[in-house]
Amino acid sequence: MPAVTGPGPGPVAALDAVRIAADLARRVGVRATPGEPMAKHTTMRVGGPADLFATAHNAFELRGLVRFARARGIPYLLLGRGSDLVVSDAGVRGLVIAVRAEASRLEGDRYTADAGVPMARAATEAQKAGLSGLEYGLAIPGTVGGAVWANAGAHGGDTAAILESATLLLADGSEAVVPTSELGFGYRHSRLKDNPSELVLGAAFRLVRADAATIAGRLDEIRRWRREHQPLGLPSAGSVFRNPPGDSAGRLIDSLGLKGRRIGGAVVSEKHANFIVNDRQGTASDVRRLVEVVRAEVRDRLGIELALEIELAGDWSAWTPEEAA
Ligand SMILES: Cc1cc2nc3c(=O)[nH]c(=O)nc-3n(C[C@H](O)[C@H](O)[C@H](O)COP(=O)(O)OP(=O)(O)OC[C@H]3O[C@@H](n4cnc5c(N)ncnc54)[C@H](O)[C@@H]3O)c2cc1C
């Protein structure tokens, strides 16, 4: 059965979370929690309860949880660090699987990592080993799996440029080591976005030898740049919109004077116009309504349709833009 992820009602309406959790513990050996607030697990700090929430501490548990959900037709959502997600206030129907499989290995100029390895850790491990290429990972507050999914990139680098292959769990339950050329990479895009039933279990990066001190200097530069240009101390999900061809979404939003525009607890960052920050304990609805206001202003005043870079996740079926603030 194909996986169902993301928004929308499904067979979960009648989900018997407690019974399923007991079954999961018996068969997969992983404890699942009913009603876990997703706001605790997203960098935007919004999101209602997941019907069930379980953590995969290694690749074995990750496979087991996904296969368990698939075999029973339970919708599931893989969660890295929640750094690209705005999860609805209604929460997530089905099972959220937090990926905390975090083994990594260096062999020559190759760095292999489980899907749950934080990209910032990958960047510093590679630096210490005198391997260059992963420096941009310092700017990505997500996991290796999330970076492959999004073809995350920053500071002139991206995942596609240094990835050798990704180990995927395919829709039919088999596993395959898929070379970069077959992952359908584009600007912030991979084939995983089109095939939610394919999951990243791990990745292998091909890096180049360089002086460790020089790489450390580059990491310092990235740290400094981010502190100066991004609202790092405040909850956000990074860039809200994709850059339209030949332009920058932040520049367009800034040119309309939208920095500081607020709905409830969500505000367009004064530091970076393509960031929405949740600086007053806002809701997912606040964030989404502000997203739609900014999008409409750019459409109406500049004639440009901005596409989302963040992902709206969970059950948005009851949401309307007219909700009371
Ligand atoms: C302050 C800040 C700065 C940011 N800067 C950048 C930047 O410079 N460049 C950039 O590209 N992004 C940036 N981001 C966005 C974000 O960090 C990236 O998109 C990141 O790759 C998301 O990884 P994650 O593990 O947090 O994924 P999540 O947000 O947890 O999940 C995102 C999607 O990936 C899927 N997913 C997660 N793990 C897997 C897996 N193992 N297999 C298959 N699918 C999976 C999820 O199901 C979900 O659909 C920034 C975010 C923040 C908060």
Domain region containing 132: 104-210
Domain identity same for 61 and 146: no
Q: Which of 179, 206, 207 is nearest to 191 (CA)?
A: 179
- Token pair, residue 62, equals 């990750």
* Residue that is last in its domain, among 186, 210, 234: 210
pLDDT at 323: 56
Residue 79 lies in a domain: yes
Domain identity same for 110 and 158: yes
Number of folded domains in the chain?
2
Spell out which residues line ligand 1, taking CB within 6 angstroms: 43, 77-85, 99, 115, 139-143, 145-147, 149-150, 152-154, 192, 199-200, 230, 236-238, 311
Among all chains, which residue has been given the structure tokens 């997912």? 284
Domain identity same for 206 and 108: yes
Residue 262 lies in a domain: no
* Residue that is last in its domain, among 99, 122, 157: 99
From 78, 169, 228, mutation site for ligand 1 pocket: most ligand atoms within 8 A of C-beta? 78
Query: What is the torsional sign of CA 200, 205, 187, 91?
Result: positive
pLDDT at 260: 98
The per-residue pLDDT for range 137-162, each reduced to its tens digit, is 999 999 999 999 999 999 999 999 99
Catalytic residue among 197, 239, 269, 285: 239
pLDDT at 81: 98
pLDDT at 325: 43
Domain identity same for 74 and 22: yes
CB atoms within 10 A of CB 300: 9
Residue of the CA atom closest to atom 14 of ligand 1: 238
Given the CA of residue 158, which atom of ligand 1 is nearest to it?
A: 11
* Angle at CA of residue 148, ends 206 and 88, nearest 5°: 160
Residue 314 lies in a domain: no
The per-residue pLDDT for range 189-240, each reduced to its tens digit, is 999 999 999 999 999 999 999 999 999 999 999 999 999 999 999 999 999 9
Domain identity same for 82 and 115: no
pLDDT at 287: 98
* Residue that is last in its domain, among 210, 226, 257: 210
Residue numbers in the chain where pLDDT is lower than 70: 1-15, 323-325
Domain identity same for 120 and 200: yes
pLDDT at 15: 60
pLDDT at 18: 87
Residue 318 lies in a domain: no
Residue of the CA atom closest to atom 52 of ligand 1: 238
Residue 43 lies in a domain: yes
pLDDT at 2: 30
pLDDT at 40: 98
pLDDT at 321: 86
Q: Write down the pTM of the prediction.
A: 0.95
CATH of the domain at 35: 3.30.43.10
CB atoms within 10 A of CB 11: 13
